[in-house]
Amino acid sequence: MQYLIGFFIALFIALTGVGAGTVTVPVLVLFLGVPAPVAVAIGLMFSAAVKLILVPAQIARRNVAWRTLGYMLLGGVPGVLVGSLLLKHLINSGSANLLNAILGAILVSTACWQIFYSFRPVSDNSETPDRSPMLSWLMFPVGAEVGFSSAGAGALGSAALISLTPMAPAQVVGTDIVFGFLLSLIGSGTHLFTHAADPELLLNLVIGGIAGAAVGTMLSARLPRRPLRFAIWVWLLILGSQFLFNSYHVWAATRLNRSVHVNSLGTRVPAVIHP
């Protein structure tokens, strides 16, 4: 099961340029029962491992715009450090359910934006003015989201590149993959010192991911990216909604338990709640 999860996530990364952290964390939490902080750390490490396989191919094909990548890293690197520190603060304060709710909100908002963005007509952005210096500011919150949830680099990074640069689609994917790899590498190093991951689970995901990345690289020139991306965002909208639903259930149960207490006869009676 773990090998298959790694295979399919890496396959979609190679085909669409997105999916590493965005898909890995909700799958680990909802289907394998991995605690959210550990899932975020594994998501970042898995993303770095899989993209390490994809990065040389993008560089060899000259799909990386190095100047634009520099602008992205100027804001993304400080952002990923801030996001990692915020996650550490929530873990230390015991706010696990709040963390799940925030992860759900991130997934739902990102998926909704990308679904809306998918309905825009396909156009040649070669005439788009080059506003790549703005990426330094925009990539700070993206980096913070990556450090906090391991999600966002692929989806939001590629959207920003399409909107602000005249880059060809292949360059958008290549530059964004290298950007996501470097942020994942920095973020995983930060999380490695804050809480333990699951080395066995990570190894199984990476083994499956290597095969998925190889297959996806061979198929990437033959399959359309747009329908695949749309399918991912619809699925992630469902997963994010499940996060929010589960968090609400936990919050409601906690409120109910606080509103009653058991008296000396074993009867549950309403507790007196002082304002």
Burial 15-34 (b: 16+ CB within 10 A, else e): bbbbbbbbbbbbbbbeeeeb
Is residue 97 scored above 80 in pLDDT? Answer: no
Q: What is the pLDDT of residue 265?
A: 47
Whether 132 is in a domain gets the answer yes
Fill in the amino acid letter for 242.
Answer: Q
Whether 275 is in a domain gets the answer no
Please indicate whether residue 75 or residue 94 has the higher confidence score (pLDDT).
75
Residue entry with tokens 């990216």: 225
Whether 18 is in a domain gets the answer yes
Most confident of the ranges 118-127, 149-158, 206-215? 206-215
Query: What average pLDDT score do residues 68-88 get?
Result: 89
Q: At what angle do helices 96-118 and 135-149 cross, to 10 degrees?
A: 130
The pTM score is 0.73
Express each pLDDT in 196-234 by its tens digit: 567 888 889 889 888 887 887 777 667 776 777 777 778
Query: What average pLDDT score do residues 236-260 get?
Result: 76
Question: Considering only 71-75, 206-210, 216-220, 239-243, which range has the smallest mean pLDDT?
Answer: 216-220
Under the banding of pLDDT at 50, 70 and 90, the label for residue 274 is very low
Fill in the amino acid letter for 257.
Answer: N
Whether 174 is in a domain gets the answer yes
Query: What average pLDDT score do residues 237-257 get?
Result: 78
Q: What is the pLDDT of residue 75?
A: 92
Please indicate whether residue 173 or residue 228 has the higher confidence score (pLDDT).
173
Number of separate domains in the chain? 1
Helices (H), 165-196: 169-192
Q: Compute CA 5 distance to the chain's CA centroid, rounded to the nearest angstrom.
A: 15
State the chain's mean pLDDT as an integer: 78
User: Can you give 35-63 as a three-state secondary structure string?
Assistant: CHHHHHHHHHHHHHHHHHHHHHHHHHCCC
Q: What is the pLDDT of residue 124?
A: 55
Please indicate whether residue 254 or residue 27 has the higher confidence score (pLDDT).
27
User: Residue 157: in which H helix or E strand, if any?
Assistant: helix 153-164
Under the banding of pLDDT at 50, 70 and 90, the label for residue 273 is very low
Q: What is the pLDDT of residue 74?
A: 94
Nearest-angstrom CA–CA distance, 28 and 198: 11
Range of 84's domain? 2-270
